[in-house]
Structure 1
């Protein structure tokens, strides 16, 4: 493994955790959007139940 300066190690460490955090936020956001879309369609089906 090549020898890196301490500043480069710190930058690599922060870059790794920023990447992990952003991927987890993207996964959470996509599941949240999927859940809200499915619950809104259920609400729409309950709203239009009587077809007046």
Structure 2
């Protein structure tokens, strides 16, 4: 197996962690709980969490 130059190892390291961070951010964003201002009570109310789930596993 050929050896990789140090710059290639650095590139692979950065690409690996960038992929992990982007995947984690997408999962967090898809399950984030949304809040809105309820006009009747003038308080913050939570939206229905079941309607926010985009992945139904």
**Normalising by the residue count of structure 2, what TM-score does the alignment of the two structures yield?**
0.57
Max Rg structure = 1
**Normalising by the residue count of structure 1, what TM-score does the alignment of the two structures yield?**
0.62
The CA RMSD over aligned residues, in Å, is: 2.2
Q: Give 5+ residue unaligned stretches, structure 1.
A: 42-52
> Which one scores higher on RCO, CA 8 angstroms, separation ≥ 6?
2
Question: Structure 1, residues 10-46: CA drift from partner, whole Å, max 9, x if none?
Answer: 00000000000000000100010xx228x324xxxxx
| Structure ranking higher in helix proportion | 1
- Count of matched residue pairs: 39
Q: Give 5+ residue unaligned stretches, structure 2.
A: 36-45, 49-57
Distance of 2:15 and 2:3 partners within structure 1 = 18
